[in-house]
Amino acid sequence: MDGNISALYDIIIKRKIEGGEGSYTNYLFEKGTNKILKKVGEECTEVIISCKEDNKEEQINEICDLTYHLLVLMAQMNISVEEVSAELEKRRNKINNFKGERKPITEV
């Protein structure tokens, strides 16, 4: 995955372990999984709404917000960027996007 995403995830993990007074990330961890899930849901909605408009800058901003909150959720659930990257790599090597029907490209 992109180095910026990994770097942000590392900062999020550091906040989870060490805390950080005044840190929004620390606030989310203190509030727990339900708060983080609520924020992910809100940000998903904001991405959808922004994509209905013709404002690329706003779309990028909302996608960044969603990405950040997904990374916080990943940290909360102890899912690493490497695990997600490995799964994406496995999926990249498959043909057919229908769940349950994916076959490795080598079987074609």
Q: Domains along the chain?
A: 3-77 (1.10.287.1080), 81-108 (no CATH)
pLDDT in tens, 82-107: 999 999 988 887 766 666 666 666 65
- pTM comes to 0.84
More confident residue, 101 or 20: 20
For residue 71, count other CB atoms closer than 10 A to its CB. Answer: 22
Stated as kind and residue range, the H or E segment containing 95 is: strand 94-95
Q: Tell me what the pLDDT averaged over the chain comes to.
A: 91
Measure the CA–CA gap between 27 and 31, rounded to whole angstroms: 6
**What's the rounded mean pLDDT across residues 56-84?**
98
Contact yes or no for 74/87 (Cβ under 8 A): no
